Every structure is written in structure tokens, then in C-alpha cells.
Amino acid sequence: MIKKRRIGNTDLEVSELSMGTAPIGGWPVAVNSDQAQKTLNTAWEKGIRYFDTAPLYGSGMAERRLGQLLKEKNREEFVVATKIGRLVIESATGSNKFKGQDPNKDTVFDFSYDGTMRSLEESLKRLQLDRVDVLHLHDPDNHPDHLDEAKKGAIKAMKKLKEEKVVKAIGCGLNQNEMLVDLAKEGCFDCFLLAGRYTLLDQTSLDELIPLCKDSNISLLLGGVFNSGILIDPRPDTYFDYTQLDEHWVENAKKNLVRIPKDFESAEYWLNKAYKLKDACKKHSISLKKTAIQFPFANEVVASVILGMSSSTEVEENFNNYQEKIPLEFWKKIKQDNLIDQRSPIA
């Protein structure tokens, strides 16, 4: 059984293990419709009741596929989140990022008030639902003007939607701590979807964001707990924060804008840290992947871990890695050995 946790001050409860739908939207490889539905059905059978999606994922394809599952379910049994900040448009070139999607569809940024209202309306049609539970501001850090545009438009629209009980919770999805710290001070957010900043490898959100979330009763929904693959099988050809861990990692990471590397950071630094964690896991006959999935749950601010899944096999594996609890002695040992931040709570 998958336990549930409450989001902020709302009455929403989400399953601790949840499903991210970017993979069934064609990232990073194409997934056919039958496989997508089998994956979704397996997730439901295992007890996953929180589903995270967005117009970006396959230019609406992930939302449509998720809608095929949810339209047959009791509306009170699941929680669904989608995002605003991008609108699906007709396009002659399509999207190169998402594979197998409609070649005549793409997305464009739009953080305006009207764009937010339109985005939600279109998402509801694709999902075949009359409401979503959580509405996230999506990646307002891709351009210097986007956050200001969102504060003047999108966030006002989101607050109105919550006041009118169209949505139950509002949040923001980002790969960084700093902008979420700024947004936490707006005083209106119930949750943040934080990717890659409270993981077995990177606990930088403990510096400022997590204490602020705790004080403000803002829940964290965590994505990117494998840090792009390094916490599955660390090797020089794997990725960390969407950037391959080769000799060009620093310069490429700066270009990707997901992480601005500090002076001490390098591919070698992150690989050595991951190798030490993998060795510690091996000594205790525990997989690195299982450890990465279970690590965040000891922190009371964390409501759910969102894992992207594209096959029934992945769902089964992730469920087992969630279900088979790691002994407390292991967590004490890696903390004693300074493999995780000393401020990290352990279960």
C-alpha cells in the first residue's frame, strides 16, 4: 500500500509515490498509445493516486493519454496536477524534444492572465475532466522577463482560480531553489514541484528553501530524484542535471541554465560523490536507485516523490523500491560518514 500525505493547508492528500507523465508524452523516447495505457493502468493497480502532467509533455499528448485513464475512475479517488506557462499551438515544425507526438503541434511560453485561463481550459478538455486539483506555474526561469510576467498575470489568475475553488492548490515547478525562495514569499503557494535539489546527492534546498517551506506550510513534491541518471548508475557517460558528466560538464551546465555550477563543482566532484554513495549501498546490499527513492520521505516537508514512468516494468520496479523499506541503521551510517548533509532527517 502507498501511504498518503497532505499538501500544505489544503484538504488534498497525495500518494507518496506518484507518476510523472513526461515519458508517456515522448520524453526522451517515443512511447506508443498501448504502452502508455498499460503503464497508467499498472500505476493505478499499484495504488498510485497522484498524477503530474503538463501541456508541454508531447504538446498535449500526455494530458490526453492520462485523460483516457482518469475518465473511467471515481473522481474522488485521485489527485491530478497540470501546469500553466505554455500553450499548445499549431506548428509546421513541431517539437524536437518530445518523440512520437503530433508533428504539427508545439508549445509557446505564455505567462499572461488570459493565457493562464486559456491553458487550464484546454488542459481540462484534453484530460476530459471538469477540474484539476493542483495547478503549477511551469518553469518561469527560462527568460529574465518570465517571472515578472507571471507575477503580473499568471499568478493573479492562479490565485483567482483557487479563490473560486476551480483548483484546490497552486504551486510552481522548477529545477532551482532560488526562484522558489522568492515565490514562497508571495504567500499564496501551497506546494512546489522541486526537481533535483533535495535528493540523495544534492541537498542544497536545506540551506533556505526547506526551512522557509516548513515555516510557511508549503509542501514539496519532488521530481528528479535520480538527478538525470547519476543516481541510477553513475558513470562518465551518464547525466547530472540534464548534462553529460564529461570534461565539458561545467560549460554545458551553464548553457542549460538548470544549474549554475559553483567553483568547487565539476563532473569529477559529482561522480566521486555518487561513487561513494553507490559503494555504501553495495556494502549493505541495497540498490542505489532504491536509496534515492526512499531518502526524501524522512523530511516532513516532502509530500510526494514524482517518478516518470514509461512501462509497466518501471512501475513495478519503482513500487517495489518504495515498498521495501531500508533499515534505519543504513541511514545512520551514511549520515555518520558525511555522505548526506548532516541536517537531513533520516527515517
Catalytic residue among 57, 198, 242, 322: 57
N residues, the chain: 347
Helix (H) or strand (E) holding 87: strand 86-90
Cell digits for 153? 498575470
Q: Which of 285, 308, 324, 283 is nearest to 226 (CA)?
A: 308
Distance CA(296)–CA(203), nearest Å, equals 10
Is residue 52 part of the annotated active site? The answer reads yes
Is residue 283 part of the annotated active site? The answer reads no
For residue 51, report the phi and psi dihedrals to the nearest 5 degrees: -125, 130
Cell digits for 134? 493542483
Taking a C-beta distance cutoff of 8 angstroms, is the pair 196, 256 a contact?
no
Distance CA(206)–CA(204), nearest Å, equals 5
- The alpha carbon of residue 337 and the mean position of all alpha carbons in its chain are separated, in whole angstroms, by 29
Catalytic residue among 4, 34, 46, 52: 52
What type of residue is 36? A
Strands of 159-299 (E only): list them. 169-174, 191-195, 219-223, 239-240, 243-244
- The alpha carbon of residue 146 and the mean position of all alpha carbons in its chain are separated, in whole angstroms, by 20
Catalytic residue among 83, 162, 168, 289: 83
Q: How far is CA 269 from CA 260, 287, 344, in A?
A: 15, 21, 20
Residues annotated as part of the active site: 52, 57, 83
